[in-house]
Every structure is written in structure tokens, then in C-alpha cells.
């Protein structure tokens, strides 16, 4: 048994895969196994995986028919033998940071280690980190962390990022939640694992050093625009699953309080995607269309029941993002958005 199993789902990332694998194998910490899960990739990724497995006895490869990200993660986790498990996306890479997390694992043995990450987009770097101070959380202090998920001091700002790749999980805890996630979930699949694991954990260590390097790719599956109706179908699916989880006594204690906030967040993000880049005139024309589609998804539409003061800040930022002009009058945009929300609820 090793301390850590690193699971890398692989699909159509031949351009980035070598850098990803090389960065993992270059870690100064070496007590880990690397599990590459070829999810039926139609390019040269399978051959690249086999090449690395032939070069290092720490690398194992699983070849499977394409089943999607959740399916690939499950396959890798099923094969894992490490005390802890972490994920790395095959189009990202990591700096030398396993050693710091391994030291925390050896000293405190927390159920979850939550780390910061660096996000790369358009030549810029953004540090993504928890709003909590680094350190060990358990008992009353952990209860505060649990109660803050997903949104802490600000609506739509994750108190701890939901990404599974910025966490180390005790394997038994991860198995409990990863294997439960339906494989048809393609939105919120990270949150469906990371937050239930934290809600269930007896101890969580928040670690500041950011070794994970998340690379924003325009053609990434998570960035592709599928259309409003398709986005809402995906939103409905993850919400249905999270609602089922609230039947669990431990999870329900915390998830129930935040589920409606996440519900609202998904609705706002969905129509932000649909209206992104539209001019003020186009935006007005789209209101009727968007409202008509939204009405077909009552679970999302019914989420808009929160006090106006809770929504104003996020609505305002959405307005600004539509046009990205300082000259745009925010109040006018807020009126338009409230008009849209009213139409959806009518």
C-alpha cells in the first residue's frame, strides 16, 4: 500500500497529456501510484498511457469504453490502493507540492486535505483558495466549514472550491461518495463528491500552497455551450441527486440549508451563458425566449424565492458581464434581470 493514489481520467487530451504525466512523476514525494484511466479516447492518448506504464512501475493504465468523467473516476478509484486518493485532469499539470500535503497526512491524518490552486486563463493567473485560514478543522470549527458550503460570506463565491482535483481524500471516505454519483451527471459532478465528503468527514485540513495548475481551455467540455434547455436539463439532474442526498441525516443537516442557494446559482449561471455577449437590444429580445424555456424547468425557476438584497450583488455582476462596459448603467440591467425573473415565476 502507498500513501497516495493519483487518478487521471484521460480523454482526447493528447496535446496536454505528456506534460500532465511528467509533472506528476517529477514530484519530490514518491510514495504514490499513478492510475491513468483511458476512457475510450480515440486519439493517441491510449498509446501515450501505455508508454509511461512501460517506463515506470508506479504507473498503471486502465483501458475502458467511453463512459464519461464520472465513470472514469470510478474506474480509477476502484483500482486505487493508496491511503489517500486525489484526481488530476489530464489537460492540467501540477507543481511540486505532494510533499507538503503528505506531511499533513502523516502528522494529522485528516479525512480531507483541501488545497489551493492556480487557474490559468488568457495569460493571467488567478489563485483559487478557501476563505478559511489554513489549519486543522474538527469539532465546532469543522461544523462552521460544513455550514458554509457551497457559499460562504458571499453568494456565488465558494467558501471551499468544489473541485475534486484540489483535494486529497481518505480512500474509504471517497469511495462512499464517488461510487454513489450517477454516471449521467455532467454538471456539478465534482460538488456531488467533494461537499458530501466534507459534510461526512471528522477532520479537514486546509492547506495553502497551490501546486495544482488548472488550465482554461476554450474547447474544454465544461466550456462548450450546449444551449439553454440542455444546460437546464443538466442542472435539474444534479439538483435531483443533491436533493436525494439530503435524506442522509448528516448530509441533510447541512445540504438542506444551502441547496436552494445552489439552485438559484445554477439558474443564474444558465441564463448568463445564454445571454453572454448580447447587446442591450438583443438582451431585451431574448428575455421572452429565455423565460419560456425556464418555465419548463420549474425546479430551477422556483428557486428564485430569496430576498432581493441577497440577489442584488450577483445580479449586478451578471449585468456587467453581459456587456463588460463601465458605461453601462447597472440599475437598468438589474431592472431587466428582475423582469426576467418575474416572467419565469409568472
Residue 268, H or E segment: helix 249-275
- CATH 3.90.550.10 describes domain 4-215: yes
Provide the residue ranges of all domains of the chain, joining segments of one domain with +.
4-215, 228-345
Q: For the whole model, what pTM was predicted?
A: 0.84
Which pairs with CB-CB distance under 8 Å and at least 24 residues apart come from 252-257? 253/199, 254/146, 254/147, 254/149, 254/199, 255/195, 255/196, 255/199, 257/147
Residues 6+ apart with CB under 8 A from 274: 227, 228, 231, 286, 290
pLDDT digits (tens, 9 = 90+) for 177-218: 999 999 999 999 999 999 999 999 999 999 988 899 999 876
Q: Which of 119, 286, 327 is nearest to 216 (CA)?
A: 119
Q: How far, CA to CA in Å, does 238 sit from each of 58, 147, 220?
A: 35, 20, 20
Q: Residue 162 corresponds to which cell in the numbers above? A: 468544489
Per-residue pLDDT of the chain (346 residues; tens, 9 = 90+): 899 999 999 999 999 999 999 999 999 999 999 999 999 999 999 999 999 999 999 999 999 999 999 999 999 999 999 999 999 999 999 999 999 999 999 999 999 999 999 999 888 888 888 989 999 999 999 999 998 888 877 766 789 999 999 999 999 999 999 999 999 999 999 999 999 999 999 999 999 888 999 998 765 544 445 577 788 788 888 888 988 888 887 777 777 767 767 876 777 677 667 766 666 566 666 656 666 665 565 555 554 444 444 444 455 455 444 444 333 334 445 555 566 556 555 5
pLDDT digits (tens, 9 = 90+) for 223-251: 445 577 788 788 888 888 988 888 887 77
Residues 6+ apart with CB under 8 A from 127: 116, 117, 118, 119, 210
pLDDT of residue 229: 75
Helix (H, G, I), strand (E, B) or coil at 251: helix
Amino acid at each position: 500500500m502507498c500513501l497516495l493514489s493519483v487518478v487521471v481520467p484521460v480523454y482526447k487530451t493528447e496535446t496536454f497529456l505528456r506534460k500532465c504525466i511528467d509533472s506528476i512523476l517529477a514530484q519530490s514525494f514518491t510514495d504514490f501510484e499513478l492510475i491513468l484511466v483511458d476512457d475510450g479516447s480515440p486519439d493517441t492518448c491510449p498509446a501515450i498511457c501505455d508508454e509511461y506504464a512501460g517506463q515506470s512501475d508506479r504507473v498503471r493504465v486502465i483501458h475502458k469504453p467511453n463512459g464519461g468523467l464520472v465513470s472514469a473516476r470510478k474506474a480509477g478509484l476502484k483500482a486505487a490502493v493508496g491511503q489517500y486518493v486525489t484526481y488530476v485532469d489530464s489537460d492540467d499539470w501540477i507543481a511540486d507540492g505532494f510533499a507538503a500535503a503528505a506531511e499533513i497526512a502523516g502528522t494529522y491524518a485528516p479525512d480531507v486535505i483541501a488545497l489551493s490552486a492556480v487557474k490559468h486563463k488568457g495569460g493571467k493567473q488567478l489563485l483559487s483558495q478557501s476563505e478559511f485560514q489554513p489549519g486543522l478543522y474538527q469539532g465546532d470549527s469543522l461544523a462552521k466549514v460544513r455550514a458554509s458550503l457551497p457559499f460562504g460570506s458571499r453568494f456565488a463565491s465558494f467558501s471551499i472550491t468544489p473541485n475534486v482535483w484540489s483535494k486529497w481524500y481518505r480512500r474509504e471516505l471517497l469511495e462512499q461518495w464517488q461510487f454513489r454519483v450517477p454516471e449521467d451527471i455532467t454538471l456539478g459532478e465534482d460538488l456531488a463528491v467533494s461537499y458530501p465528503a466534507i459534510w461526512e468527514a471528522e477532520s479537514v485540513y486546509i492547506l495553502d500552497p497551490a501546486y495544482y495548475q488548472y488550465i482554461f481551455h476554450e474547447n474544454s467540455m465544461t466550456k462548450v455551450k450546449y444551449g439553454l434547455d440542455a444546460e437546464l436539463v443538466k442542472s435539474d439532474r444534479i439538483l435531483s441527486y443533491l436533493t436525494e442526498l439530503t435524506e442522509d441525516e448528516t448530509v441533510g443537516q447541512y445540504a438542506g440549508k444551502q441547496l436552494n442557494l445552489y439552485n438559484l446559482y445554477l439558474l443564474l449561471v444558465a441564463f448568463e451563458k445564454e445571454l453572454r455577449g448580447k447587446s442591450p437590444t438583443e438582451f431585451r429580445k431574448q428575455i421572452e425566449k429565455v423565460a419560456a424555456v425556464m418555465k419548463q424547468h420549474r425546479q430551477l425557476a422556483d428557486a428564485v424565492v430569496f430576498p432581493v438584497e441577497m440577489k442584488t450583488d450577483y445580479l449586478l455582476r451578471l449585468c456587467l458581464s453581459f456587456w463588460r462596459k463601465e458605461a453601462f448603467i447597472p440599475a437598468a440591467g438589474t431592472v431587466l434581470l428582475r423582469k426576467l425573473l418575474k416572467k419565469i415565476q409568472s
